Amino acid sequence: MGNLGKVVDGLLLLAFVGILVIVPLDIPDSVVPYDRNPFYKFYTAVSQDYLVLERPPFFMALMMLELFYLFPLAVLNIYGLLAGKPWFNSTCLIFGSSIIASTTAMVGDILGSGKPSAAFMARLYSPFIPLGVLAVVRGLVPLSCKAAPINANGPGLALKKKA
């Protein structure tokens, strides 16, 4: 995998840490009132994100999914990546597919909304789709890609030693 693998792992590590920072800030209103959440005030003032402002039920369900599913997966992925655990590929695959599915639903709603802030919001949410694809691809690639030795006589044909 080499240098490209290290770059991909570094990007994913940043994404996992970002999820650890962002998800707790999206805690539903029933846990921490939005008027007491400084991130909520700043974000809604800057972005005019109607999903966060209007809180449609599907979006709130996706926020709960992030809190109780993606957040623990991000913790596991950070540990698995740094410790070189063999199950990292599986959790990375699960993480990536979940990000792709939830972000696609949000971007689809944004693009179909016709709201004035839709273009800005689509640009804001869309980078998570390639990030999910990157996590899925990383989940499909083994943690260490040591090439098997190539036999000069073809695969499976070993040379007999002459005594």
Residue 42's pLDDT is 82
pLDDT confidence of residue 85: 92
pTM for the predicted model, two decimal places: 0.78
Dump pLDDT digits (tens) for 13-23. Answer: 999 998 888 87
Q: pLDDT, tens digit, for every residue of 96-118?
A: 999 999 999 999 999 998 888 88
Q: What is the pLDDT of residue 148?
A: 42
34 burial via Cβ count (<10 Å: 0-12, 13-18, 19+): middle
pLDDT, tens only, 29-47 = 666 676 677 777 788 888 8
Q: 16 exposed, middle or buried (CB, 10 Å; 0-12, 13-18, 19+)?
A: buried
